[in-house]
Amino acid sequence: MDQQAGKQNAVAVKLPTFWAEEPRVWFRQAEAQFALKGVTADETKFYYVVSALDQTTAKRLIELLDNPPQAEKYNTIKSKLLQSFALSPQERAARLLNMSPLGDRKPTEMMDEMLALLGDHHPCFLFKHLFLQQMPENIRIVLAKEDLDNPRDLAQRADQMWLSRSSDYRISKLSKNKPTSPNTMETVSNFCFYHRRFGKKARQCCPPCSWQQENDKAGCPQ
């Protein structure tokens, strides 16, 4: 009965192509789809995973695909894929120690990546140090003195400072490039984050924002 119910609902399941770089994340999404659609049959889940494999990955599992076990098909292929593609503890540690620079990412985005690499391990004082290393100096100095043990709280605080720093930079740049007037700073402060930072190149806009209104008054192209 269980297998029949799984097959009846399986037609509604659409899995993304297997992510060799993030197999654990992929399986979480696949299993969420199975749960939402009521797919519980072992064989049905197995063949949906097989259908989501790219050619290179399928080749590596050809022996299993040619001769699947009689039972526990899904758990077998899941274990095989995690064993083949999931990062080892040494690889996760190496990535944490050699994180890419913050760049245009928000600190919370970097924290998400670091916590994913940490896995089931509890963050320690060294983890906080590795995160702070990637922050701009002015943010790093302030946060190093704050008593924030929760990594999410630390990242949220860094976000606030990072956004404030970006807004200040944008306002400073605008003030240097445009004639100043008593209303200039007030006008800029009424822009949303995206228009303060990117100006006319902004692809998003969050209310309240006076960008459209101010440019309509000035007759500027959008």
pLDDT digits (tens, 9 = 90+) for 70-101: 999 999 999 999 988 888 888 888 888 888 88
Average pLDDT of the segment spanning 182-210:
67
Tell me if 170 sits within 8 A of 201, measured CB to CB: no
At 221 the pLDDT is: 46
Average pLDDT over residues 157-161: 89
Q: Per-residue pLDDT for 31 more than 90?
A: yes
Confidence of residue 65 (pLDDT cuts 50, 70, 90): very high
Over the chain, what is the mean pLDDT? 79
pLDDT tens sequence across 88-147: 888 888 888 888 888 888 999 988 888 888 877 778 878 888 998 888 888 888 888 887
